[in-house]
Amino acid sequence: MDLGKKILIIDDVVDNIQVAMNILKEDNYEFSFADNGEQALAILQEKNSNFDLILLDIMMPGVDGFEVCRQLKDSPRWRDVPIIFLTARVDSDSIAKGFEQGGVDYIIKPFQANELLARVKNHIELYQAKLLLKQQNIDLELKSKYEQVRLLTELEKNQMDMIYMLTELMESTSDETGKHIRRVAELSSFLAKLHPTLTDEDAYTLLHASPMHDIGKITVPHDILHKPGRYTAEEFEIMKSHTTNAYKLLCCSKRKLFQAAAIIAHEHHEKWDGKGYPRQLQGNDIHIYGRIVALADVLDALTHIRCYKKAWTFDEVTDYIQEHRGTQFDPQLIDLFMANIEEFKLIALSS
């Protein structure tokens, strides 16, 4: 399959189009452009049009960017193509409306070259990864039993390669480290092995799916993701979107690991008492995978330094976890944690 790098730039200010093209040309993208919404929709309706990403101005006369985005997301042909909004507006209503219409990101004008290059590159890579996932959903019904086994083994290898690629992509844009991801995976898998209703297959699934729990952070603006202080209410709303954005990416695959990763990414910030996000799920309505990774993620994050905090001692973390039994965390999981605390400590404090 040809995974090209074709970009459509839509802006009613021609100078903005030229600036974007000048910045992006160093990565050898192919460009098309339109200076109004009507022209853009006409281009997108052409039989042979094909784009890997759309840069879309919000404020345009006539058909504005929100309406262009809405029409594209109603079209099966363009539904999955990432749309990055170009805007000089940073109010929360505009940002929220952009995400509601189906945009995956936004970039503030005037453009910062490094930010534009990084965001375009990341979203194109994510889109191409999504295409690869779809390509892997092939029909095996007419294959011989031997061929099925061979293909399934190859698909599993491809899934693991894709997981590592997506994880490395996430690491490059956040303060999470490969060690954090590995520890969360090991903590989650170990907790699954202790759980009375889960199987070794569940433990295996968590080991390989949980590394993608924060892949959605790739869609969070750099200045928010790396902010050392507390978030404003608007910034926190943007940060929370990483859960739903990850789900939209991962749920397109029918493969078990990616289905599990979609659930984990979507639900690992839900809380047992219903005060988490993004859907305020409560108790057993939260998938057991989400509940497990929620505990593993907090356990590891608190015991290690971040740009916004110092590392806590393991005893401090243990006190915090116990205090939030039945509010933030599943009580049964906390009981399993406390009954096997030395093993959890070894994993959490491993280098």
3-state SS, 302-315, equals: HCCCECCECCCCHH
Chosen domain end from 131, 159, 180: 131
pLDDT at 153 over 90: no
More confident residue, 342 or 217: 342
Q: What is the dihedral of CA 297, 302, 307, 309, to 10 degrees?
A: 150
**pLDDT of residue 59 exceeding 80:** yes
SS3 290: helix
* CATH code of 115's domain: 3.40.50.2300
Residue 137 inside a domain? The answer is: no
Model confidence at 152, pLDDT cuts 50, 70, 90, reads very low
Residue of 195 and 91 predicted with greater confidence: 195
> Which whole-number Å values give the CA distances from 340 to 1, 74, 268, 290, 297, in the listed order?
49, 50, 22, 20, 17
Residues 163, 301 within the same domain: yes
Tokens 């933030």 locate to 328
**What's the pLDDT tens digit per position in 190-219?**
999 999 999 999 999 999 899 889 888 888
Q: What is the mean pLDDT of residues 45-53?
A: 90
Residue 33 · residue 59 · CB < 8 Å: no
State whether 127 and 197 are in the same domain.
no
Query: Given this model, what pLDDT does residue 31 score?
Result: 94
The whole-angstrom separation of Cα 184 and Cα 195 is: 16
**110 cis-preceded (ω within 30 degrees of 0):** yes
pLDDT tens digit sequence for 314-328: 999 999 999 999 999
Q: Which residue has the tokens 């193509």?
A: 81
- C-alpha 340/C-alpha 334 separation (Å) is 10
Domain-located, residue 1: no
Q: Are residues 109 and 150 in the same domain?
A: no
* pLDDT, average across residues 139-151: 49
CATH of the domain at 312: 1.10.3210.10
Which band of pLDDT confidence, cut at 50, 70 and 90, is reported for residue 150? low
List for the chain the helix, strand, coil content (%; round to 5).
Answer: 60, 10, 35
Domain co-membership, 194 together with 238: yes
